[in-house]
Amino acid sequence: MKILLVNPDIPLTFWSFKKALKFISRKAVVPPLGLLTVAALLPREWETKLVDMTTKKLHDRDIKWADYIFITAMFIQRKSADEVIERCHILGKKIVAGGPLFNGIPEQYAQVDHLVLREAEITLPLFVRDIQNGCPRKVYYTHEKADLLQTPIPLWNLIKMKKYAMMSIQYSRGCPFNCDFCDVTTLFGHKIRTKTTEQVLQELEAIYSSGWRDEVFFVDDNFIGNKKLLKTELLPAIIEWMKARKFPFTFNTQASINLADDEELMEMMVQAGFDCVFVGIETPNEECLSECNKVQNKGRDLVACVKIIQRFGMQVQAGFILGFDSDNPSAFDNLIHFIQKSGVVTAMVGLLNAPRGTKLYNRLMNENRLSKESTGDNTDFSMNFIPKMGVEELLNGYKKVVHTIYSPRNYYNRILTFLRELKPGENNKSRYRYCDIKAFVKSVWHLGIIDNGRLSYWKLIFWSLFKKPQHFHLAVTLAICGFHFRSIFQNYGRV
Ligand code: B12
Ligand code: SF4
């Protein structure tokens, strides 16, 4: 059996980092971990190939080679996914589909031969069994949650690591919280399911022995969902593993803001090599936090929490949302002020959207306010419901926020605010490789000479060289990311 695994292309979005990747000569941010895991779940004797269209073209000869095409996709990849499905059908090939898009709207994929839904650890073995018995069904579905002890080591040999900015690894699924706009808990539940420490070390070893020496992204929705296990088992083991190999990786992940309450945990994460964490801050407005049930963010000084994490040695990236029913016209200026003050450089401000299956979706449906399916990209100026504030006022306010925070002056000022706070990690010293020097030279040309933010760029470069030389690499990286963010929001007016 020959299986071609396909990850469809991703358009230019906030998280695609497409404009920044050009500086470091990489094609995509991370490999499709879901597909690499699916490949590892297939019988060993089946031949597998993977085409990640975010890094290379899908040729007809690839499709013709295969007996089955296995496709994954997020909503945002829908256009490319639909084209791939059509091409495969024209070439007479059968399609097996799984992943977020097909789980979200399976009824719109009648043309797919086999929908293998939910977590592949449960549904894929059933499909394989039926294929081997010559009686595969159309839909495979389960209400059960997978036991991550069954999750195999992803098949890293299917990709060229050099094409990516980061590798990825998953420790846990699920999140104990219950934010009303989030479908993670619908998909993965509230109970935190983890891999064993041994599994994680084996996965790290597999990435290490494939030659990777760079950033590794723990893709968990909330890495600190089970703090006790982290502190007593996983982190001590990772610290030892990293020490023994002279700290080959730096790690980043996603976590809830209560990370700032646990000094021991932050200390251990930094010792293990974590230098960045994405946090869902959403809004500085308490009423909005209550509205969406973001209880873990309530009653806190959120700016102070961000600064605590930064002082421990981790960058805080954050997601923010506009468009709550409780948002009022002052929301826009308040958010700008919050973001500038906190030094959250990578601030993903999006419009509230209601993904299917969430509490928010159900509420809005009952209120007759849903207008369409969410596109999956909350930075593309679209919403799938009628906002209380009125569309025009909200869109204008949103534009104002992104244009202000991503204007060169404010963006570079934020980098300075952040770097002043950041404690240098002892274990993740900047290493300068040929590609870093090349990226710096490119940044000098694009950001220091032809960009209209060049004065702020040079201010940052000289400031970090003289005041914080240990953060120079990070300063250049963030400057390059700013170039990408500005180009994303440029489509919606001048930044
Ligand atoms: C890591 C991650 C990212 C990374 C990398 C994305 C990537 N290219 O892989 C980054 C940070 C770049 C990212 C960005 C975005 N992301 Co994201 N991301 C995730 C996250 C946290 C983990 C994905 C992962 O690697 N999981 C680990 C693997 C092992 O699991 P998996 O992919 O789900 O695969 C399993 C099953 O789904 C299934 N499966 C998957 N594919 C297939 C295929 C077949 C054939 C079969 C049989 C089975 C199967 O088997 C696997 C094993 O069980 C998920 C949430 C989550 N917990 O899954 C969100 C998630 C995928 N992201 C999401 C979104 C919305 C986005 C953004 C659009 C956000 C934004 N507003 O811009 C952007 C767009 C991407 C981009 N590049 O621009 C949504 C997608 C929702 C949807 N229905 O499409 C998710 C589900 C989070 C959420 N609920 O909001 N994301
Ligand atoms: S904390 Fe994050 S992952 Fe957990 S429910 Fe809230 S938004 Fe979703």
Task: Express each pLDDT in 181-208 by its tens digit.
Answer: 998 998 899 999 999 999 999 999 999 9
User: Mutation test of ligand 1: which of 71, 74, 252 has the most ligand atoms closer than 8 Å to its C-beta?
Assistant: 74
Q: With beta carbons less than 8 A apart as the criterion, state whether 278 and 252 touch.
A: yes
Ligand 2 mean position, distance from CA 94 (Å): 36
pLDDT tens, position by position, 15-48: 999 999 999 999 999 999 999 999 999 999 999 9
Nearest CA owner, ligand 2 atom 3: 221
Task: Look at residue 151 in the predicted model and tell me its pLDDT.
Answer: 98
The residue whose CB lies within 8 Å of the most ligand 2 atoms, and thus the one to mutate among 256, 298, 361, is 256
311-322 as b/e: b if 16+ CB within 10 A? ebbbbbbbbbbb
Tell me the CA distances in angstroms from 472 to 56, 172, 277, 384, one per residue in order.
32, 33, 19, 41
Q: Which of 170, 219, 222, 259 for a ligand 2 pocket mutation test, highest count of atoms within 8 Å of Cβ?
A: 222
Alpha helix (H) ranges present in 257-405?
Answer: 263-272, 286-291, 302-312, 331-342, 359-366, 391-405
Task: List Cα–Cα distances, 350 to 58, 377, 395, in angstroms.
Answer: 31, 8, 11
Q: Is the pLDDT of residue 145 over 50?
A: yes
Strand 193-194 and strand 172-173: pairing?
Answer: antiparallel
Ligand 1 centroid vs 34 CA: distance in angstroms?
Answer: 8
Question: Which residue's CA is the nearest one to ligand 1's atom 57?
Answer: 221
**Is the separation of the CB atoms in 156 and 168 below 8 Å?**
no
| From 170, 172, 177, 348, mutation site for ligand 2 pocket: most ligand atoms within 8 A of C-beta | 177
For residue 492, the CA-to-ligand 1 centroid distance in Å is 26
User: What is the 183 CA–ligand 2 centroid distance (Å)?
Assistant: 8
Q: Residues with beta carbon inside 6 Å of ligand 2?
A: 175, 177-179, 182, 184-185, 221-222, 256, 280
Global model pTM greater than 0.75: yes
As a whole number of Å, the end-to-end CA separation of the chain is 52
Tens-digit pLDDT profile for residues 376-391: 788 888 899 999 999 9
Instruction: Name which residue sits closest to atom 48 of ligand 1, judged by CA.
Output: 98
The minimum-distance atom of ligand 1 relative to the CA of 350 is 71
pLDDT (mean) for 284-297:
98
pLDDT digits (tens, 9 = 90+) for 316-364: 999 999 999 999 999 999 999 999 999 999 999 999 999 998 999 999 9
Q: How far apart are CA 80 and CA 8, in angstroms?
A: 5
Angle between helices 408-421 and 472-490 (to 10 degrees): 150
Q: Where are the alpha helices (DSSP H) in 322-390?
A: 331-342, 359-366
Which residue, by CA, sits nearest to atom 6 of ligand 2?
Answer: 179
pLDDT at 409: 97
State the pLDDT confidence band at 494, using cuts at 50, 70 and 90.
Answer: very low
Q: Which ligand 2 atom lies nearest to the CA of residue 183?
A: 8
72 CA to middle of ligand 1, Å? 9
Pocket test for ligand 1, best of 10, 15, 50, 70 (most atoms within 8 A of CB): 15
**Alpha-carbon 69 to chain mean position:** 25
- Residue 3 CA: distances (Å) to CA of 71, 117, 156, 408: 10, 18, 16, 47
Q: If DSSP codes are grouped into helix, strand and coil, which group holds residue 384?
A: coil
Domains and CATH numbers, the chain: 2-140 (3.40.50.280), 165-406 (3.20.20.70)
Q: Write out pLDDT tens, residues 256-281.
A: 999 999 999 999 999 999 999 999 99
- 3 state DSSP class of 315: strand
pLDDT at 55 > cutoff 50: yes
- How far apart are the CA of 184 and the centre of ligand 2, in A? 7
The count of C-alpha atoms lying within 13 angstroms of the C-alpha of 196, restricted to the half-sphere facing its C-beta, is 6
Ligand nearest to the CA of 175: 2
Which protein residue's CA is at the shortest distance from atom 7 of ligand 1?
32
d(CA 125, ligand 2 centre) in Å: 29
Nearest ligand 1 atom to alpha carbon 36:
29
Going by pLDDT thresholds of 50, 70 and 90, the confidence category of residue 451 is very high
Q: Which ligand neighbours the alpha carbon of 224 most closely? A: 2
Percent of the chain past pLDDT 90, that is, above it, reads 92
**Nearest ligand to the C-alpha of residue 15?**
1
Report CA(101)–ligand 1 centroid distance (Å): 9
Fill in the DSSP letter of residue 209: H
Q: 351 pairs with which residues across the strands?
A: 322
Tell me how far apart the 2 most distant CA atoms of the chain are, in Å: 69
Residue 69 in tokens: 């095409």
The pair of structure tokens assigned to 187 is: 């998909």
Is residue 411's pLDDT more than 50? yes
Q: Is 282 helix (H, G, I), strand (E, B) or coil?
A: strand
List the structure tokens of 406: 């991503």
DSSP string, 3-33: EEEEE----S-GGG-HHHHTTTT-SBSS--H
Task: Please give the Cα distance from 475 to 24 (Å, whole number).
Answer: 15
CB 193 within 8 A of CB 207: no
> For ligand 1, which residues put their CB under 6 angstroms from it?
10, 13-16, 29-30, 32-35, 37-38, 70-72, 74-76, 96-101, 104, 116, 119-121, 124, 168, 170, 183-184, 188, 219, 221, 350, 376-379
